Amino acid sequence: MNTRQLLKLFLIGALTLGAAAAWFTRDQRQINRTVNRLRDLVSKSQEEKAIGGLIRAKEISNCFATPVDVCLGDPWPDFKDRDSLAAAVHHGRSIAQTIQVTIRNRTLNISPDHQSATMDLAAEAAVTLSGGSLQDIREFRLRWVKNEGQWLISKVELKETIRRPDGLESTGL
């Protein structure tokens, strides 16, 4: 076997390994892209028109399965459908001047059949309102389902509240 044939064999092997790695990590990449997209959609850096807020709220709700079970913890109600979730997101974004969301400490476990997954993460939200600002850090468990090739969130569970917004302790929430 000459050097040229050996080089071709090496390149074919490397391409095969690269394609296999891409194939096996595509679910992970799609889920992480969705989380990053949600972070960006929830975040708000400036005032926006009502129609823009409605469009973002709808895009956020489209990242969730039907039915859905979302428990964010106090002071938020639980959400059992995408429409009520979209309405709450729109309301929260409309009263906030700015929202900055940071995602930390993601761990993802995809089932062997690649039809469901679980992700644990910490989310930090810094919100500016006309009357001040709030900062909230919570850990969540997200349950994912694969629906027609697309990963959607079917359940959000609050694992732990690390830091509640100031003022909630005294309200009993």
Residue showing tokens 């194939």: 23
Tens digit of pLDDT per residue, the chain (173 long)?
777 776 666 666 656 555 555 555 689 999 999 999 999 999 998 888 888 889 999 999 999 999 999 999 888 889 999 999 999 999 988 889 999 999 988 999 999 999 999 999 999 999 998 888 888 899 999 999 999 999 999 999 999 988 765 554 433 33
In angstroms, the CA 161 to CA 147 distance is: 30
Order of all β-strands in the sheet with 98-110 = 64-70, 150-163, 132-147, 116-129, 98-110
131 close to 44: Cβ distance less than 8 angstroms: no
Four-CA torsion 98, 158, 81, 165, nearest 10 degrees: -30
pLDDT, one tens digit per residue, over 20-45 is 555 556 899 999 999 999 999 999 98
In angstroms, the CA 109 to CA 168 distance is: 33
In angstroms, the CA 111 to CA 28 distance is: 11
